[in-house]
Structure 1
Amino acid sequence: MATQHKHHEHSGDRLVDEAGKVLADAGEQWTTMREDVFRALADHDRPASAYDIAEEVGKRRGKRVAANSVYRILDLFVRTNLANRIESANAYLANAHPGCRHDCIFLICDDCGQAEHFDDDKLTGALREAGKAHGYSDVRPVVELRGLCSECAA
């Protein structure tokens, strides 16, 4: 049975405010560009690429935004736990509970692209221990399960 975490999930302006606080607590600045990137990411209900985000932020700002600038910001968000990276899709999801550190297992629909996560400390803990047993430190499990969501399977 999966070990569940208790999270306070944020949304809307509250999520953006919490993300800014977490980033500031990490010693980073919450700039208007970073806020714009986070807002654009949080507006997506499916994983978004840096190019998707750059296009949206560019439209909001009325000028072109380079995808490499967005990549750097998204990498910062992943490091500070404001976003999660879906490795297999090179896409990102806003973390609805910023500041809460844990390993996520992602379920990704091969048809519609929807992604959701769940926690299973027993599974990710075993993966972390296996990495340590092979001489690795700071092991970060990245688990992605692909299939069809219930809507697409119906």
Structure 2
Amino acid sequence: MATHHHHHEHSGDKLVAEAGKVLADAGEQWTAMREDVFRTLAAQDRPASAYDIAELVGNQRGKRVAANSVYRILDLFVRTNLANRIESANAYLANAHPGCRHDCIFLICDDCGQAEHFDDDKLTGALRDAGTAHGYTGVRPVVELRGLCSDCSA
């Protein structure tokens, strides 16, 4: 059974403000470009690649935005818990509860690409313990389950 965390999920301007606060608390600058990348990522209804985000931000700003700049920003967001990386798709999702650190398990639809997450501390804790038992430190479970979402399987 999944363990439910008590965290407040933000959206819209509140999510952007919370992300800015989390980044500032981590000692990082909340620049206009970082805000644009985060705001654009948070507006996506499915995982987005750095190239997708660069194109959307570039269109919004009226000038080309380099994908490698967006990659650096997204990597910062992952390190500071503002976004999650969907490893199998090389894509990113904004974290709706950036102040809460936990290991997410992602469900990814093979048809439409939708992704959602759930928490199961028992499962991710067992994975973390297994890694530690094999001599690893700083173990960070990355769990992705692929299949068809309820809409696509209907």
TM-score where L is the length of structure 2: 0.99
In angstroms, what is the RMSD of aligned CA positions? Answer: 0.4
Match of 1:124 in 2: 124
* Alpha-carbon separation, structure 1, partners of 2:99 and 2:8: 11
Match of 1:148 in 2: 148
Matched, 1:78 2:73: no
* Alpha-carbon separation, structure 1, partners of 2:18 and 2:57: 20
Per-residue CA distance 1:79-130 (angstroms, 9 max, x = gap): 0000000000000000000121000000000000000000000000000000
Shift of 1:10: 0.3
Match of 1:6 in 2: 6
For residue 7 of structure 1, give the secondary structure of its aligned residue in structure 2: coil
Please, which runs of 5 or more residues in structure 1 have no aligned partner? none
Match of 1:96 in 2: 96
Shift of 1:3: 1.1
Match of 1:115 in 2: 115
Overall identity of the aligned pairs, in %: 89
* Alpha-carbon separation, structure 2, partners of 1:13 and 1:86: 24
* Alpha-carbon separation, structure 2, partners of 1:23 and 1:9: 17
Shift of 1:4: 1.0
Alignment of 1:22-37 (within 5 A): 22-37=22-37
Alignment of 1:40-51 (within 5 A): 40-51=40-51
Q: How many residues are matched? A: 154
Please, which runs of 5 or more residues in structure 2 have no aligned partner? none
Segments of 4+ moved more than 3 angstroms: none
